[in-house]
Every structure is written in C-alpha cells, then in structure tokens.
Amino acid sequence: MKITILGSGSAYGVPMMFNTWGNADSKNPQSNRTRASILIEDEGKSILVDCGPDFREQINKNKVKNINAVLMTHGHYDHIAGIPELPRATKLLGHSIEVYAAEKTMAELKNSFGYLFMGQAEAEPDSKKIEWKVLPDFGQFSVCGLDFTTSLLPHHSIFSSSFRYKDFAYVTDWQELTPEAKSMLQNLKLLIVECNNGFEKAKNGHSDIDNIKKIVADVAPQRIILTHISARVDDKKLSSEFELAYDGQIIEI
C-alpha cells in the first residue's frame, strides 16, 4: 500500500493569503501546506480521500496518473471545492469515478453542486459518469473491490467520516473519539490524524495536542502522523513531539 500526502494544511492553507505564515516555520519548505487530502494506492486501484480547492495542483505536482474513487469525509469547502473538476478528470482518464459520502455529506454535495447530479452532459460534455454512492455512517463498505471501514465523528455542528483500510486509518476534522471509532482504530500500523489547533485549546470541532495524546493512549498506533495543520500552529515545536505530515510525502506500508 502506498499513501501520498497530497495536502497537509487546514482550511486556509499555509501560508494563508497575503503570504501570512502565522506561527508556522516560513524557513521550512515542508511548512508550505495545501488543503488536506491523501491518495491511497493498492492492488492496482487509486482512492482519493477528499477533493479540496487545491485538487488540480496536487494531482499535477504529485504526478498522479489515475483516480478510481473519491472518499469524502464531510462537506466543508476545504474538503469538497475540487469536486466540480471530477467530470473533466473522467474525460481525461477515460473512465468513470465513484464518489462515496455519508448520507448527510452527500446531501451537502447536492446542495453545493446540484448540476453535477443532473447528468454528465450538464457537467462536462463527453465526460464519463460520476457514480455517487452513499456510505454507511458506521461499518464496512467496498470501494473498487477494496474493503474499508468507516465511522462518523462529531465535527462542530456536523459529522466527519473517518476511514480505515487494512492496517491504516485516516481521521480528520474531529475533536473527540466515539466508542465506535475507538474500536475501528485498534491495532493500526499507521494513523494519519488531524491536529488543526496544535497547542491551542481544541475548538470548532478540531483537535489539539491533548486530543492527540489521548488518541495515542486509547488506540496505540504503531506510527502516528499529524495532518491538517494550520498557520496558527508552531509546527517546529509540534514536530519535536510528533511526526508531522508534509505535502508530497510518500508512505509505504
């Protein structure tokens, strides 16, 4: 299994607009972060997790050759803004793309991009089909013949889907684990998890370093990597305690 960190930043990226670095280490190239997304490649399939506003740039920069399916964690802008580019992606790839989202997230996608659900002609002439598939809130599901597990986590006023594939799990936009998520996250070789707030107290459905320490105590992954890092975070200090994801990072399990 190969995992590529396409983006490791929070909703506004790092640096933010006007070249605003905040507490991030502007001298470290790895502190330059696009919006959070990963690509999972295994058994000849390529599964994208989230499709934010930096989607095209991320795909090109990382020389991604194929996407078979997209797993959506939730309906916030920084995770869905690249969805309208998927019809063109199908046209360039020459095959359909499956998009998976929990029921409420799918409703948010329809509300934001209703025209994409009307048919391929309206979305992109000569494109292939976008296959919209509703995820269970909890439990197992199959993507292109690959077996995943999902569990919803509270995120501010909505919910975010976390995902497990084999011995790997991806958790973003969360603040507290549910019993179902704790069960799903046992016996992991790798956990990539959001730490948007760093040393600031958790708020607005995002986690801080204390949440990270608690998840380590609760599920004890062999390796943990923090992602969805905001410009408010002193990433140099945070990296002295935990491994931080960076854009373009490749991990093999």
pLDDT above 60 for 121:
no
pLDDT above 70 for 38:
yes
Q: How confident is the model at residue 123 (pLDDT cuts 50, 70, 90)?
A: low
HEC sequence for the chain: CEEEEEECECCCCECEHHHECCCCCCCCHHHCECECEEEEEECCEEEEECCCCCHHHHHHHCCCCCCCEEECCCCCHHHHCCHHHHHHHHHHHCCCEEEEEEHHHHHHHHHHCHHHHCCHHHHCCCCCCEEEEEECCEEEEEECCEEEEEEEEEECCEEEEEEEECCEEEECCCCCCCHHHHHHCCCCCEEEEECCCCCCCCCCCCCCHHHHHHHHHHHCCCCEEEECECCCCCHHHHCCCCEECCCCCEEEC
- Percent pLDDT > 70 in the chain is 98
pLDDT at 120: 60
pLDDT at 94: 94
pLDDT at 122: 61
Mean pLDDT estimate for the chain = 95
| pLDDT 10s digits, 131-186 | 999 999 999 999 999 999 999 998 888 899 999 999 999 999 998 899 999 999 99
| pLDDT 10s digits, 87-101 | 999 999 999 999 999
Of 9-23, 90-104, 189-203, the range with the lowest mean pLDDT is 189-203
Span 2-252: which CATH code?
A: 3.60.15.10
pLDDT at 130: 93
Q: How confident is the model at residue 125 (pLDDT cuts 50, 70, 90)?
A: confident
